[in-house]
């Protein structure tokens, strides 16, 4: 029915039509008026591309008047919302493997609404920003609460650990936990670490304490015969950078033969050898 009215519009010069009555924009109406004049005045100059342009405009009008409300109803039924849960805002346009011609770009322009697309993306980006701000505020709130709560929780665990100790207050219990567990029990809640990082730090303190004889327990002492060997190994194991450089030389010794890594040498002897024997 809609298409029939449009064809009547194209061939009937006196037909009165308002753009909004059929979901038309002023640009689409102007294009249809131009094509109508061309059809009425010079029908022999009308080609297939002109009819394709009319079809593109009709398809866009049908989308705007009938399909778009139906799509909105389907999205509402499936609880699909314009939010980061369902959409991602592309930073770049979609990849095209075949570049369309200028004529096809012109025709497809009737099937697109750049202003609506910009508005849609701006609204989606705004909701991305809202979600990011909400997440950041939540992280800050949790961080502030942890700074207040975690030290008291740690102190309670230390008191429970040494509840049988007599003649010791909380500060003494903290010092004992620091010496025995090799963790700093006096820190506030601002310091952040991971389980792996804390374990590495504790092991390094353990090895360093054994190396320097800081433990009273004889089981944590290195025999005198192994002192020199241990110190030589500890030189390369005390940090990741030192260990990595040693393993790099051990696993890939050929890399050290690269000419770029060798110092600058005098080449006169080699040149004299070539001149005498070549």
Q: Is residue 52, in this structure, part of any structural domain at all? A: yes
DSSP assignment of 227-250:
HHHHHHHHHHHSSHHHHHHHHHHH
Task: Give the span between the Cα atoms of 192 and 115, in whole angstroms.
Answer: 47
The DSSP call for residue 65 is I
- Give residue 68's domain range: 2-89+102-110
Q: Is residue 128, in this structure, part of any structural domain at all? A: no
The answer to whether 15 and 8 have CB atoms below 8 angstroms apart is yes
Task: Determine the distance from the C-alpha atom of residue 234 to the mean position of all C-alpha atoms in its chain, rounded to a whole number.
Answer: 39
Q: Which residues of the chain have pLDDT under 50?
A: 1-2, 13
Instruction: Mark out the alpha helices in the chain (DSSP H runs).
Output: 2-11, 26-41, 48-62, 68-77, 102-108, 114-161, 170-181, 195-211, 227-237, 240-251, 268-277
pTM of the model: 0.51
HSE toward the beta carbon, residue 230, CA cutoff 13 A:
13
Task: Determine the distance from the C-alpha atom of residue 116 to the mean position of all C-alpha atoms in its chain, rounded to a whole number.
Answer: 27
- Predicted confidence at residue 9, as pLDDT, reads 55
Q: Is residue 228, in this structure, part of any structural domain at all? A: no
Q: Is residue 14, in this structure, part of any structural domain at all? A: yes
Q: Is residue 42, in this structure, part of any structural domain at all? A: yes
- Predicted confidence at residue 8, as pLDDT, reads 56
Question: 96: phi > 0 → left, psi -120 to 50 → alpha, else beta; which?
Answer: beta
Q: Is residue 168, in this structure, part of any structural domain at all? A: no
Q: Is residue 35, in this structure, part of any structural domain at all? A: yes
CA proximity to 202, closest of 221, 182, 188, 186: 182
Q: What total number of domains does the chain contain?
A: 1
Residue 215 has a CB neighbour count (10 Å cut-off) of 13
- Predicted confidence at residue 10, as pLDDT, reads 52
Task: Give the span between the Cα atoms of 111 and 235, in whole angstroms.
Answer: 70
HSE toward the beta carbon, residue 216, CA cutoff 13 A:
2
The DSSP call for residue 183 is S
Q: Is residue 15, in this structure, part of any structural domain at all? A: yes
The answer to whether 183 and 205 have CB atoms below 8 angstroms apart is no
- Predicted confidence at residue 39, as pLDDT, reads 83
CA proximity to 211, closest of 199, 200, 201, 223: 223
- What is the length of the chain? 278
């Amino acid at each position: 029915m809609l298409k029939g009215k449009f064809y009547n519009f194209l061939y009937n010069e006196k037909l009165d039509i308002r753009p909004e009555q059929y979901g038309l924009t002023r640009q689409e109406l102007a294009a249809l008026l131009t094509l109508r004049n061309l059809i009425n005045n010079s029908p022999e100059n009308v080609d297939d591309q002109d009819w394709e342009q009319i079809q593109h405009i009709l398809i866009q009008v049908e989308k705007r008047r009938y399909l778009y409300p139906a799509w909105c109803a389907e999205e509402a039924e499936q609880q699909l919302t314009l939010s980061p849960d369902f959409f991602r805002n592309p930073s770049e346009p979609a990849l095209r493997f075949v570049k369309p011609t200028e004529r096809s770009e012109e025709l497809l322009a009737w099937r697109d609404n750049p202003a609506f697309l910009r508005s849609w993306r701006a609204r989606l980006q705004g909701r991305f920003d809202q979600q990011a701000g909400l997440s950041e505020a939540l992280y800050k709130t949790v961080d502030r609460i942890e700074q207040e709560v975690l030290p008291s929780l740690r102190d309670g665990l230390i008191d429970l650990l040494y509840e049988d100790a007599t003649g010791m207050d909380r500060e003494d219990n903290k010092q004992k936990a620091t010496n025995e567990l090799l963790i700093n029990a006096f820190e506030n809640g601002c310091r952040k670490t991971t389980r792996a990082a804390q374990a590495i730090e504790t092991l390094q303190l353990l090895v360093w304490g054994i190396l320097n004889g800081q433990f009273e327990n004889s089981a944590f002492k290195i025999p005198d015969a192994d002192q020199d060997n241990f110190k030589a190994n500890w030189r390369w194991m005390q940090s990741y950078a030192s260990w990595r450089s040693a393993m790099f030389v051990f696993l890939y010794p050929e890399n050290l033969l690269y000419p770029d890594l060798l110092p600058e040498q005098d080449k006169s002897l080699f040149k004299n050898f070539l001149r005498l024997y070549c």
